[in-house]
Amino acid sequence: MRRLVVLGAALALTLPASVSGATQVNVFAAASLTNAFLRIGGASRYSFAGSDQLAVQIRQGAPADVFASASPKYTQLLYRDGLLSKPVVFATNKLIVLVPRSNPAKIRSVYDLRRSGLKVVVGDSTVPIGIYTRQILDTLGIASDIAKNVVSQESDVKGIVSKVALGEADAGFVYRTDARPVAGHIRTIALPAWAQPPIRYEIAVVKSSTHATAARSFVKRVTSTRGRKLLARAGFGLTKKPR
C-alpha cells in the first residue's frame, strides 16, 4: 500500500497550486512536464495530460490560459488557426526504455524487446510519446518485431511509467525526464543517440485567455533563468533562451 501511495504521488496528473492574492492561470501542459512545472510553481492551476488531448480541449473552448506541448505539432496547428499566440521552444528531451527495478525479463538493450513473450507498453499513436517511439523504432528497423509484444498503448506518458514501475509490463518507452520521480522502482536503458528523434517542447498563451497578463508572466517564468535551471534539474535539455 505504501508503494502505491508513493507512486500515486509521483504520477499525479492534475494538481492545483495557488499564491494568495495572485491571479490564477489555467496551465494545460504535457504530462511529462508535471514535476518540472510544479517546481516552477506560481499562481497556477495545472491540467497535465497528453498534448493531443489538451489541444482538442482548447479547440473546444476549455478555459486554458497557457498551453505547453511535448511536440511543436499541436502548438503550431493551434497558432496557425489563431488560437494561440506565437509559441516558443523552451526545452528538449530524449527517449529511453524503462524496465522494472527487478528487471525479470533481463532486458539489457532495446533489441532485447524483440524476444517473444515480453510485455511492452508504448504511447498511443496520436500522442507525442507514441509518435516519437514509432519514429525511433522505425529508424532502428525493429518496429514490426516490437509491435508484436505491445500489450498496451497509453494516452499519456504517465500511464506508461505507472505500468512499468508497478511491474505490470516488462518495458516501456518514455522520456528521460520521466524516470527520475520513480527512480527507486525502475531501471533505465539508453537508446542509440543517432536514432533519437528531435523532441522539442513549445509553450504559448491561449488567445481566448481572460488572464492574458498573468499567462504571459507564467511563460516568462518558465523561460526565465530560474525556470531553465529547474527544467535542467528535472533532466530536460535547453535550447537557446527565447527573447
Same-domain check for residues 63 and 115:
no
Same-domain check for residues 74 and 107:
no
pLDDT in tens, the chain (243 residues): 444 444 444 444 444 444 335 688 999 999 999 999 999 987 689 999 999 999 999 999 999 999 999 999 999 999 999 999 999 999 999 999 999 999 999 999 999 999 999 999 999 999 999 999 999 999 999 999 999 999 999 999 999 999 999 999 999 999 999 998 898 999 999 999 999 999 999 999 999 999 999 999 999 999 999 999 999 999 999 987 766
Read off the pTM.
0.88
Same-domain check for residues 99 and 162:
yes
Same-domain check for residues 189 and 228:
no
Residue where the block lists cell 496551465: 27
Q: Is 119 exposed, middle or buried (0-12, 13-18, 19+ CB in 10 A)?
A: middle
What is the domain range of residue 175?
A: 95-195
Residue 243 lies in a domain: no
SS (H, E, C) 170-185: CEEEEEHHHHHHHHHH
Same-domain check for residues 121 and 169:
yes
Residue 27 lies in a domain: yes
DSSP assignments along 80-104, one per residue? HTTSB---EEEEEE-EEEEEETT-T
Same-domain check for residues 114 and 178:
yes
Residue 101: give its domain's CATH number.
3.40.190.10
Same-domain check for residues 125 and 166:
yes
Residue 238 lies in a domain: no
Residue 241 lies in a domain: no
